[in-house]
Amino acid sequence: MEQIPLEHILLLSAVLFSIGILAVISKRHAVVVLMGIELIFNAANLNLVAFSRHDPQLLQGQVFSLFVILVAAAEAAVALAIVLRVYQYFKTANLNQIIIPEK
List, for residues 28-60, the tens digit of each pLDDT value.
888 899 999 999 999 999 998 888 888 777 667
**pLDDT at position 90 over 70:** yes
6-90: CATH class: mainly alpha
* Confidence band of 1 (pLDDT split at 50, 70, 90): low
**What's the rounded Cα separation, in Å, for the pair 92 and 30?**
9
Alpha helices in the chain (DSSP H): 6-26, 30-54, 60-90
Least confidently predicted of 39-43, 65-69, 81-85, 96-100: 96-100
Residue pair 20/39 in contact by the 8 Å Cβ criterion: yes
pLDDT for res 25: 95
Residue type, 15: V
Q: Taking residues 13-34, what's their average pLDDT?
A: 93
Give backbone dihedrals phi and psi of 63, rounded to 5 degrees, phi first: -65, -45
